[in-house]
Structure 1
C-alpha cells in the first residue's frame, strides 16, 4: 500500500510563556509607576508661588465658598427676558442654612442676582454654593455664587461608568482606569510642570507618549499588538506636533492668541509665573490628537493581529495592505470627529461671526477661526499619517515573530 507523503509542517514561532508575558507587563507598569512618582515629586517640589486669589478681599476680610440649603424665599423681583426664550432676570432674598465650612449649621440671609447669561433663580430646597464674606467688624454677608451641581455631576459620572462597564465588560473597566490615569497625569503633573516654567510643547509631548504607553499596557499587556499601537501613536502624535509647529510659524500665530490666554498672561506679567504661553497652541493640538491617534492605532494593530491569526501565511506586504484598507475606512469618520469636535467647541463664536455678516476673508483672518482651523487640521494630519505608520510597524512586528 502506497503511503501518502506527509506535508511539511509549517515552522511555528516560539510562543512566549504566559508567565513571562505577565512579567513583562508588570515590569513596564512598575517602571511607569516609578516615573509617575518621580514626575509628581518634581511637579510639586520647591516653594509654591503665591498667585493670589481669583476674588478680591480687602484688609482683614475673608471669603469662603460653602454649600447651603434654601429654606425660604423671603422676597423676589424678577421678570422674563423675552430675547432669551423665557430666561429670568432679577434678584431674590433667601433664608438659607449653611451646610459646610466654618459656618456650618448657621442660618443666614443670602442674596441671589441673576440674568439670562449668569446665575439662576432658586427654589426652596435647592442646594447652592455661597460666596460668604466675613468683614473686619465681624459682619457676614452671603451671595449665591451658583447652584450646587456637584451631586448631579457625580451621579452623571457614575452613570457613565456603569454604561462603559456594562457594554465594555473588563475592557471597559480597563479603559476607565486608563481615563482616570490620563486625567491625573494632566492635572497633577502636566499643568504644575507648565506653571513651573517647563517647556510647554516638549513636556506635553513626553507626557502624552507616557500616557499612551501606560494606557495600552493596562488595556492589553505587553505584546506586539500594543507595541505596534504605541509606536504608531507616538509617531502620529509627533507628526501632529510638527505640522502644528509649521502652521504656527507660517501662520504667524501662537498660544498668546488663544481665547482664554489673557488670565494666564496676567499671571505671567503680574505674578511672575513662568508660563511658556507661545507653546500652548501646539500643546493643545498634541493633547487633542492623542485620543484620536490612539483609537486609530489600536484598531489597526488589533485588526492586523486578527488577520494574521486567521491566515498566518500572509507576508508583511500583504498585512500592510490589509492595515491600509482598514485605516482608509477609519480616516474619513475620524477626521470628521476631530474637525467637528473643534468646531463644536466654538459654535457660539461661529454663530456670532456669521451674524456679523463678515466676508470670507475677514472671517478666516480672525485669530479665533485661524486657531481652530490650525488645531483641527494639524490633529487630523497626525491621525491620518498614523495609519500607514501603524500598519507598517505592526506588520513588521507580526511577521518577524514578535511577542503575542
Structure 2
C-alpha cells in the first residue's frame, strides 16, 4: 500500500486540481465573452400546471414559470428582466430553470424578452478538462499523443465537412474515404511511431474497412437494397446512399483499428521475445487473440449504432406506430451499419495475423 502511494502522482494531481479550480471559476464568470445577452436567474415562481393528453392517451404536464433575473453582459448589463418559461415533465423540447442558473435570452424591447437556452459551457469545459487531466496524469506521453491525435483529427474532420459542403455532397464518399485513411495514418503514427508495425497496422485497418464496404456493395447489388430505408435519414439535403456509406466507414474505422492494433502489437512483441517463432505460429496466435476480442467489439458497435436511435424509436412507438414500422424508420440503418462493421472486425483477424506473420521482422542479434 505504501509503495502504491509513493508511485501515485500526488503533486501532478494537485497541480491539475488547482488549474481546474481556476479554470472553472473563469468559465463560470465568462459572460463578457458572449455577444448574446445572458440572464442570471434570481427568482422562480410556478404560475400554472396543465394536464395534456394526446390521441394515443400519452399523458404529460405543462408548467409555466415566472423567471426574474439580471442581465450579466453586454450593453444591458445590470438590467432586471422578468419573463415566462414553459416546460413539460418529458422535457423533450424545453427545460425547467432554477435559481442561480444562467440562460441566454432574446430582448425584444419595451420590456419584452424570451428565454432561448441554458448556458452550459461550465459542465462541458469541466468534462473536457477532466478527460485531458486524467490522460496526462495516468498515461503521460501516451495521453499527450492521444490528445494530439484527437485535435488533429477534429481539424481534418472539419476540413472534410467544408469540402463536402463546397461540393454539395457530390463527392462525399471519396472525401470521407480519404479522411478515413488520414485518420488511421495520423493516429497510428502518433501512437505507435513511424515504423514497420505502424505500416502493417495501417494496411490491415484500411484493407479490412474497405473490404467490408466492398462486400456490402456487392450484397446491395444482388438484393437491390431491399429493407434499407434511406428516407429515414432525416434532414439530409444530399444523396443519402453515399452519405450512409461514408458514415459506416467512419463509424467502423475505430473498431477495426483497435482490433488490428491489439493483434499486431501482440504479435510483434511475441516476435521480439521469440525470434524463431514460425509464420504459422504467429498467424495462429493472432487468430486466437482476435477470437477473444472480436465479440466484444462487435457488440460495442451494435450498442452504439442502435443506442443512437433509441429515443426516436420510443417516440414512434408511443405515437401508435407498429414495431415493424418503428424499426424500419429508425433502427434498420443502424442494424445494417452494425453488420457491415462486424464484417470488417471479422476480416481484421486473418488479415492482421497474415500481414504480421509475413512482415514481422526478426530481432537482429
TM-score of the alignment, normalized to the shorter chain, above 0.5: yes
- Report Cα offsets for 1:59-85 as digits up to 9, x if no partner: xxxxx7443211233x432438799xx
Which residue of structure 2 aligns with residue 257 of structure 1? 231
Matched, 1:395 2:357: yes
Superposition map of 1:39-50 within 5 A: none
Q: Is the Cα–Cα contact under 8 Å of residues 313 and 330 in structure 2 kept in the other structure?
A: no
Residues 178 and 247 (structure 1), Cα distance of their counterparts in 2 relative to 1, 3 Å cut: farther
Q: What TM-score, normalized by structure 2, do the two folds share?
A: 0.77
Distance 2:288 2:352 in 1: 12
Which residue of structure 1 aligns with residue 126 of structure 2? 155
Instruction: Report runs of 4+ in structure 1 exceeding 6 Å deviation.
Output: 80-83
- Report Cα offsets for 1:38-71 as digits up to 9, x if no partner: xxxxxxxxxxxxxxxxxxxxxxxxxx74432112
Distance 1:370 1:163 in 2: 37
Superposition map of 1:152-191 within 5 A: 152-186=123-157, 188-191=158-161
Residues 343 and 256 (structure 1), Cα distance of their counterparts in 2 relative to 1, 3 Å cut: closer
Out of 61, 83, 86, the residue aligned to residue 110 of structure 1 is 83
Which residue of structure 2 aligns with residue 237 of structure 1? 209
Out of 302, 308, 319, the residue aligned to residue 345 of structure 1 is 308
Q: Is the Cα–Cα contact under 8 Å of residues 308 and 314 in structure 1 kept in the other structure?
A: yes
Which residue of structure 2 aligns with residue 211 of structure 1? 183
**Consecutive unaligned residues in structure 1, runs of 5 or more:** 1-63, 266-274
Matched, 1:192 2:192: no
How far does residue 372 in structure 1 lie from its aligned partner after superposition? 1.5
Residues 99 and 391 (structure 1), Cα distance of their counterparts in 2 relative to 1, 3 Å cut: farther
How far does residue 330 in structure 1 lie from its aligned partner after superposition? 1.1
Aligned-residue Cα RMSD (Å) equals: 3.1
Residues 352 and 147 (structure 1), Cα distance of their counterparts in 2 relative to 1, 3 Å cut: closer
Residues 102 and 350 (structure 1), Cα distance of their counterparts in 2 relative to 1, 3 Å cut: same
- Report Cα offsets for 1:74-108 as digits up to 9, x if no partner: x432438799xx98632223222223455444433
How far does residue 113 in structure 1 lie from its aligned partner after superposition? 1.8
Aligned residues: 320
Matched, 1:96 2:69: yes
Matched, 1:125 2:100: yes
Which residue of structure 2 aligns with residue 42 of structure 1? none
Residues 343 and 141 (structure 1), Cα distance of their counterparts in 2 relative to 1, 3 Å cut: same
Matched, 1:308 2:283: no
Residues 324 and 159 (structure 1), Cα distance of their counterparts in 2 relative to 1, 3 Å cut: same
Distance 1:95 1:169 in 2: 47
Which residue of structure 1 aligns with residue 31 of structure 2? none
**Consecutive unaligned residues in structure 2, runs of 5 or more:** 1-34, 54-58
